[in-house]
Amino acid sequence: MRMTRQRRIILDELRKTKDHPTADMLYQSVRRHLPRISLGTVYRNLEILAEAGMIRKLEFGGASRMRFDATVSRHSHIRCVACGRIDDFPLDPDLNPEEYTAGINGYEVLGYNLEFYGRCPACKAKVK
């Protein structure tokens, strides 16, 4: 993977912020450095950086648009149902979700979603 000027600046801009921007938000801030960059380049590079494990792609339930996160270490998110803001917070693997409900980052916690992913019996058999 070539670290092009465009790719470098996209990564830098993402790392500068803590607010899990959408592709378009990043496009706006990257344009201040590279006025001729195209939105497609931003999307493509975010995809490539995510595949390389350098950033994370968040497809947050309830939000239509994809969001991106430069923090790749394990952590969780809390989203404000009123304004859509998303904050990081540390995930404690020894806690069950119910035990977090006493105020995360000053939020009033309303609930959580816990979804698992894996390989179903049929696909497990197929690949192996």
Partner DNA sequence: AAAATAATAGTAATGATTACTATTACTGAA
Partner DNA sequence: TTCAGTAATAGTAATCATTACTATTATTTT
**86 close to 79: Cβ distance less than 8 angstroms:** yes
Q: Does 40 bind a second copy (CB under 8 A)?
A: no
Q: Does 90 bind a second copy (CB under 8 A)?
A: no
**Alpha carbons 58 and 68: distance in angstroms, whole number:** 6
3-state secondary structure of 102: coil
58 to 77: interface string for DNA, x by CB under 7 A: ------xxx-----------
Contacting DNA (CB under 7 A), which of 14, 21, 45, 70?
45
Q: Does 34 bind DNA (CB under 7 A)?
A: yes
The phi and psi torsions of 41 (rounded to 5 degrees) equal -65, -40
Q: Does 119 bind a second copy (CB under 8 A)?
A: yes
Q: Does 49 bind DNA (CB under 7 A)?
A: no
Q: Record the tokens describing residue 128, joined without a space.
A: 């192996």
